[in-house]
């Protein structure tokens, strides 16, 4: 029964596919067979590296498959009743050792470049020609069982707790298991540093569209960064098993223009728990009725 | 051995129905059989658990763990943790090392038995106790009002310390300690047997590859399991005696546990697959009617894999906030493992090349293994790159990767070995048609289950989730349908067993000493099927 209902739902969803509201960007779409669309330079780099390696491993797999099919067809007992007895061939042995090494080197070079891009906080030159940090602002993220605390030390140090919207409270335009009551908000076009830690057990702050996944570990302060140009709503999920409600502590992040961010900050310094009204007002002016209806 | 002597020994074979034969057993073949039966039972339990998992994940929302009979999301975590631990410690390891290892290492090297037969008995009999403790842990308080340990097979603190204050996890620790003792004793036994009891003339470089594989595996066990034991003991004292090895509040570090765990854990994943490598080599050679291509390369590739396996552990920890240069090292080291792995795959194909292949049941499983293991291996190369692992870590992509190498790799090699040696072990032929049908359902089902999980991981679906957002619905449904297909295969497996038991006295099922012909060259085929209770009273001489 359940299966049938689900199958019907699938067929219906194929026929009447309706995209999520325009500004929701960071979210998986059903039947997707690719990475989420990149929102940061890091995720763009991950995506192109992934494509390259995917080509390589697909070709390797197909070569192995082709060889297997060939021996099955050519060397089955009917086609080849008398087996040869060779068991060595130095040349091919050298080739199948050396060629994989070369392939790995080809993979390794861009792999290291990507790794350092992700890991090292970006820098820039100031007027004096010195290299300085390019970080514009810092947000501190703390994982708790089972919600997130976001603190804005550069903007007066207010903080708030962000929890999942329960399934029964999901409104139009909200997403089950993804929407949070209070979103994290950042300005578009700024380099944001995240400091990630946890208060109880290990969690992981992960945002697929940004290519970020950072463990939140009690007693440690981990650091990562992102830079998003595109305004929109992005969703992520806790990615380290943290107990019963591990599946239910999502991350909702709004990237908004600087002026909206400034207004949100001003409101949040006053009361973070009503500050999302600023976002609502902004989305209304933009005609994003679904987003506006959220709060 | 003269037939008179054989008959004489047969007289001493105790009855199948004597409990002493099994409980007091010091006979490597009987102990091997007990391991195999144990593995099948544990596999059925672990497989049923994965059924609950796939049922829960078939569609969005809570189907099974919805505060009803099966409990809540915590109980889902318990089931996934137990599924992983059972499949690894109580299914694959007992089948490969305890089952096939015990049966065929002595036979292949021409030894009368294992070096320490009584220790062998203890190795086996520790397992049922260990397994019972693990199962028991599901029914005692874990955390809050919930029973069982729901912290994954990796058992990371603080979730496994302050995060699970009930006694359930203490039982898990005890269970794994006992399983670990069993493994270490077994490893000592295999190493001693292989080093000291090879038949005259059988140098290491003439030893069959399955014995090589078991030797390397035994070393991996001997060197890695004590590290796990140490880590578990520290968890135990952190939990119960006020130490703070892994508690930052007392100067400890939870990441230290992860290093210790994966220093064990990565060799462990090779412990699970190396014996399979050995089995596949014999099968491919037998049914291609050709000697193994590059025998020495095959043996030393396993040695290399075993060695490199000890220096790559932190590729499981790319997201803990490690120093970037350290990550770069682990990327490089991990990718190197792909080279000896590739050598093995190409050598199997080269063994078939020019051969005269007959597609008997074991060979079909072996060819399936080679292809599926390749798929799992190449996704391993993808994950080895820390840069892209930041996207894939702890998503279903990783779940797909390790199920391709384990559920499709290790398990396929177990079935290949099972059908290769079935007649030798049980003294009865099985119905090849039924076994091939089982292969068909397993191949289709397992691919349906696990291939779409790559897509889920790419789209970002985290692992260990009892409920996912709606964007992941479709491929999860496909995956759950795949489970049903595989379940059908499982019934055919049971049918093979039952059918061969029922028809065991019919002439068609009468066992042959060597059903596979002259290309089955290892010593077990020189003995009757099943072999006499004690074999090689006169040691065979190897030219
Ligand atoms: C080409 C060889 C292989 C490479 C390069 C490789 C690489 C990796 C990497 C980097 C991970 C960590 C992914 C993550 O957690 O983000 C991983 C996970 C895993 N691999 Fe492999 N792997 C290889 C072969 C194998 C084999 C042969 C097995 C076992 C038979 C195996 C079993 C596993 C398991 C069980 C995990 C997941 C552990 C967990 O987090 O629960 N891998 N592999
Ligand atoms: Cu979590
Ligand atoms: Cu590993």
| Cα separations in angstroms, B305 against B265, B291, B403 | 14, 22, 19
Helices (H), A79-192: 90-119
Distance CA B390, CA A147 (A): 22
Distance CA A163, CA A143 (A): 11
Token pair 């765990």 is found at B261
Structure tokens at B58: 């078939």
pLDDT-derived band at B11 (thresholds 50, 70, 90) equals low
Q: Is the confidence at residue B4, as pLDDT, over 50?
A: no
pLDDT recorded at residue A91: 94
Mean pLDDT of B109-134: 97
Q: Which of B523, B543, B542, B519 is nearest to B291 (CA)?
A: B519
pLDDT recorded at residue A294: 63
Q: Is the confidence at residue A1, as pLDDT, over 50?
A: no
CB B273 within 8 A of CB B344: no
DSSP character for B395? B
CB B493 within 8 A of CB B438: yes
Q: Where are the beta strands (DSSP E) in B111-240?
A: 141-143, 146-147
Pocket test for ligand 1, best of B402, B409, B461 (most atoms within 8 A of CB): B402
Distance CA B322, CA A222 (A): 9
Q: Which of B119, B265, B118 is nearest to B182 (CA)?
A: B119
Mean pLDDT of B324-332: 96
CA A189 to chain B, closest CA, distance in angstroms equals 22
CB B149 within 8 A of CB B81: yes
Distance CA B117, CA A215 (A): 47
Token pair 């002439």 is found at B507
Q: Which of A248, A205, A204 is nearest to B73 (CA)?
A: A248
Please give the backbone phi and psi of residue B162, each rounded to the nearest 5 degrees, phi first: -65, -25
pLDDT recorded at residue B3: 46
CA A261 to chain B, closest CA, distance in angstroms equals 27
- Report CB contact under 8 Å: A176, B60: yes
Label residue A159 exposed, middle or buried (CB < 10 Å: 0-12, 13-18, 19+): middle
Q: Of B163, B349, B387, which is closest to A71 when you measure between CB atoms?
A: B349
CB B349 within 8 A of CB A67: yes
CA A263 to chain B, closest CA, distance in angstroms equals 31
CB B46 within 8 A of CB B90: yes
Q: Which of B474, B455, B459, B466 is nearest to A7 (CA)?
A: B474
Mean pLDDT of B390-398: 97
> pLDDT (tens digit, 9 = 90+) per residue, A74-110?
999 999 999 998 889 999 999 999 999 999 999 999 9
Beta-bridge partners for A159 = A151
pLDDT-derived band at B16 (thresholds 50, 70, 90) equals confident
Q: Which of A196, A219, A216 is nearest to B244 (CA)?
A: A219
pLDDT-derived band at A170 (thresholds 50, 70, 90) equals confident
**Nearest CA owner, ligand 1 atom 12:** B316
DSSP character for A181? S
Enumerate the residues of chain A whose CB falls inside 8 A of the CB of residue B58: 2-3, 6
Mean pLDDT of B309-323: 96
Question: Lowest-confidence range among A2-11, A60-69, B370-379, B505-514?
Answer: A2-11
Q: Is the confidence at residue A295, as pLDDT, over 90?
A: no
Mean pLDDT of A210-232: 95
- Give CA torsion, residues A51, A54, A59, A65, to 10 deg: -150
Pocket test for ligand 1, best of B91, B154, B269, B390 (most atoms within 8 A of CB): B269
> pLDDT (tens digit, 9 = 90+) per residue, B57-108?
999 999 999 999 999 999 999 999 999 999 999 999 999 999 999 999 999 9
Question: Lowest-confidence range among A6-10, B450-454, B505-509?
Answer: A6-10
* Spatial CB neighbours of A47, under 8 Å, sequence gap ≥ 6: A35, A38
Beta-bridge partners for A76 = B357
Specify the ligand 1 atom closest to the Cα of B383.
10
For residue B3, count other CB atoms closer than 10 A to its CB.
8
pLDDT-derived band at A286 (thresholds 50, 70, 90) equals confident
Label residue B6 exposed, middle or buried (CB < 10 Å: 0-12, 13-18, 19+): middle
Enumerate the residues of chain B whose CB falls inside 8 A of the CB of residue A177: 60, 467-470
pLDDT recorded at residue B407: 86
CB B531 within 8 A of CB B29: yes
pLDDT-derived band at B524 (thresholds 50, 70, 90) equals very high
pLDDT-derived band at A12 (thresholds 50, 70, 90) equals very low
pLDDT recorded at residue A284: 87
Distance CA A274, CA A278 (A): 8
Mean pLDDT of A27-46: 93
Task: For strands B146-147 and B141-143, give the pairing.
Answer: antiparallel
Q: Is the confidence at residue A183, as pLDDT, over 90?
A: yes
User: Does any ligand 1 atom lie closer than 6 A to the CB of residue B410?
Assistant: yes
pLDDT recorded at residue A173: 78
> pLDDT (tens digit, 9 = 90+) per residue, A236-265?
999 999 999 999 999 999 999 999 999 999
Distance CA B512, CA B503 (A): 16
CA–centroid distance, B316 to ligand 3, in Å, is 6
pLDDT recorded at residue B498: 96
pLDDT recorded at residue A288: 79
Q: Does B324 touch chain A (CB under 8 A)?
A: yes
Helix, strand or coil for residue A205? strand
Instruction: Just list the catalytic residues of B.
Output: 83, 113, 153, 182-183, 266, 268, 270, 281, 315-316, 341, 344, 463
Q: Is the confidence at residue A20, as pLDDT, over 50?
A: no
| Cα separations in angstroms, B459 against A236, B471, B473 | 11, 9, 11
| Cα separations in angstroms, A228 against A191, A254, B34 | 8, 11, 60
Distance CA A211, CA A236 (A): 10
Q: Is the confidence at residue A9, as pLDDT, over 90?
A: no
Exposure of A179 in the CB half-sphere (CA atoms within 13 A): 18
Q: Which of B144, B167, B174, B157 is nearest to B74 (CA)?
A: B144
| Cα separations in angstroms, B538 against B2, B200, B527, B530 | 10, 11, 13, 18
DSSP character for A214? E
CA B229 to chain CA mean position, Å: 19
> pLDDT (tens digit, 9 = 90+) per residue, B247-297?
999 999 999 999 999 999 999 999 999 999 999 999 999 999 999 999 999
> pLDDT (tens digit, 9 = 90+) per residue, B184-208?
999 999 999 999 999 999 999 999 9
Arithmetic mean of pLDDT over chain A: 89
Q: Does A229 touch chain B (CB under 8 A)?
A: no
pLDDT recorded at residue A11: 46
Distance CA A39, CA A41 (A): 7
> For residues A15 and A161, which has the higher predicted lDDT (pLDDT)?
A161
- Write out the H or E segment, with its range, that includes residue A233: strand A232-238
Arithmetic mean of pLDDT over chain B: 95
Task: For strands A232-238 and A203-207, give the pairing.
Answer: antiparallel
């Amino acid at each position: 029964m359940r299966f049938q209902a689900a199958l019907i739902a699938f067929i219906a969803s194929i026929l009447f596919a309706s995209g999520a509201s325009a500004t929701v960007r960071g979210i998986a779409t059903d039947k997707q067979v690719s990475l989420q669309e990149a929102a940061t330079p890091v995720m763009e780099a991950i995506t192109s590296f992934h494509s390259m390696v995917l080509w390589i491993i697909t070709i390797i797999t197909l070569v192995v498959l082709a060889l297997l099919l060939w021996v099955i067809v050519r060397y089955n007992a009917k086609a080849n009743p008398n087996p040869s007895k060779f068991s060595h061939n130095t040349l091919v042995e050298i080739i199948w050792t050396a060629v994989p090494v070369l392939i790995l080197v080809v993979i390794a070079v861009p792999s290291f470049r990507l790794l350092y891009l992700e890991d090292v906080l970006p820098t820039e030159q100031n007027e004096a020609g010195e290299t300085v940090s390019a970080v514009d602002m810092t947000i501190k993220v703390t994982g708790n069982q089972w919600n997130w605390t976001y603190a804005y030390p550069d903007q007066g140090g207010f903080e708030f707790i962000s929890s999942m919207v329960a399934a029964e409270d999901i409104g139009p335009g909200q997403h089950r298991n993804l929407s949070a009551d209070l979103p994290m908000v950042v300005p578009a076009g700024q380099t944001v540093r995240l400091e990630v830690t946890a208060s109880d057990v290990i969690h992981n702050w992960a945002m697929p569209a940004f290519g970020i996944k950072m463990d939140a570990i009690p007693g440690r302060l981990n650091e990562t960064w992102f830079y998003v140009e595109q305004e929109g709503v992005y969703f992520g999920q806790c990615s380290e098993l943290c107990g019963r409600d591990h599946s239910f502590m999502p991350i909702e992040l709004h990237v908004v223009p600087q002026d909206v961010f400034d207004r949100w900050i001003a409101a949040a310094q006053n009361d973070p728990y009503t500050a999302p009204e600023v976002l609502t007002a902004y989305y209304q002016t933009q005609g994003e009725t679904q987003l506006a209806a959220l709060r | 051995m003269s037939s008179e002597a054989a008959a004489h020994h047969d007289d001493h074979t105790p009855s199948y129905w004597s409990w002493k034969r099994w409980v007091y057993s010091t006979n490597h073949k009987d102990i091997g059989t007990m391991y195999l039966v144990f593995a099948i039972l544990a596999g059925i339990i672990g497989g049923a658990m994965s059924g609950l998992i796939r049922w829960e994940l078939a569609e969005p929302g809570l189907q099974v763990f919805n505060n009803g009979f099966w409990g809540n999301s915590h109980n889902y975590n318990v089931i996934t943790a137990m599924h992983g631990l059972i499949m690894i410690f109580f299914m694959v390891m007992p089948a490969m090392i305890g089952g096939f290892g015990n049966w065929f290492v002595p036979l292949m090297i021409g030894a009368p038995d294992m070096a320490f037969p009584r220790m062998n008995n203890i190795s086996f009999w520790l397992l049922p106790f260990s397994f019972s403790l693990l199962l028991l842990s599901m029914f005692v308080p874990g955390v809050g009002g919930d029973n069982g340990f729901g912290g994954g097979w990796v058992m990371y603190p603080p979730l496994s310390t302050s995060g699970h204050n009930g006694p359930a996890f203490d039982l898990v620790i005890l269970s794994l300690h006992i399983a670990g003792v069993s493994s270490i004793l077994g490893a000592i036994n295999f190493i001693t047997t292989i080093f000291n009891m090879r038949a005259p003339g059988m140098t290491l470089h003439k030893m069959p590859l399955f014995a090589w594989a078991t030797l390397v595996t035994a070393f991996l066990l001997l060197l890695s399991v004590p590290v796990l034991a140490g880590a578990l003991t520290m968890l135990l004292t952190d939990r119960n005696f006020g130490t703070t090895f892994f508690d930052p509040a007392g100067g400890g570090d939870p990441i230290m546990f992860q290093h210790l765990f994966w220093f064990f854990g990565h060799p462990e994943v090779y412990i699970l697959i190396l014996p399979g490598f050995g089995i596949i080599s014999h099968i491919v050679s037998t049914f291609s009617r050709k000697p193994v291509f590059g025998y020495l390369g095959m043996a030393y590739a396993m040695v290399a894999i075993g060695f490199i396996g000890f220096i790559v552990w932190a590729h499981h920890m790319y997201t803990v906030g490690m120093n970037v240069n350290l990550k770069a090292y682990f990327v490089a080291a991990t990718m190197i493992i792909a080279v000896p792995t590739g050598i093995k795959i190409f050598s199997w194909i080269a063994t078939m090349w020019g051969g005269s292949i007959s597609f008997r049941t074991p060979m079909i499983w072996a060819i399936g293994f080679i292809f599926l293991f390749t798929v799992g291996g190449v996704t391993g190369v993808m994950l080895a790159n820390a840069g892209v692992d930041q996207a894939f870590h702890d998503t279903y992509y990783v779940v797909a990767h390790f199920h391709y190498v384990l559920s499709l790799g290790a398990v396929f090699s177990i079935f290949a070995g099972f059908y290769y040696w079935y007649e030798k072990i049980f003294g009865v032929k099985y119905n090849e048609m039924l076994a091939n049908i089982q292969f068909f359902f397993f191949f289709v089902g397992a691919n349906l289950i696990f291939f779409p999980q790559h897509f889920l991981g790419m789209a970002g679906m985290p692992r260990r989730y009892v409920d996912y957002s709606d964007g992941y619905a479709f491929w999860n449904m496909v995956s759950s349908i795949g489970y049903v297909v595989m379940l059908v295969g499982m019934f055919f497996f049971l049918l093979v067993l039952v059918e061969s038991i029922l028809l065991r006295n019919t002439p068609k099922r009468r066992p042959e000493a060597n059903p596979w012909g002259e290309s089955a060259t290892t010593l077990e085929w020189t003995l009757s099927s099943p072999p006499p209770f004690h074999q090689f009273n006169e040691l065979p001489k190897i030219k």
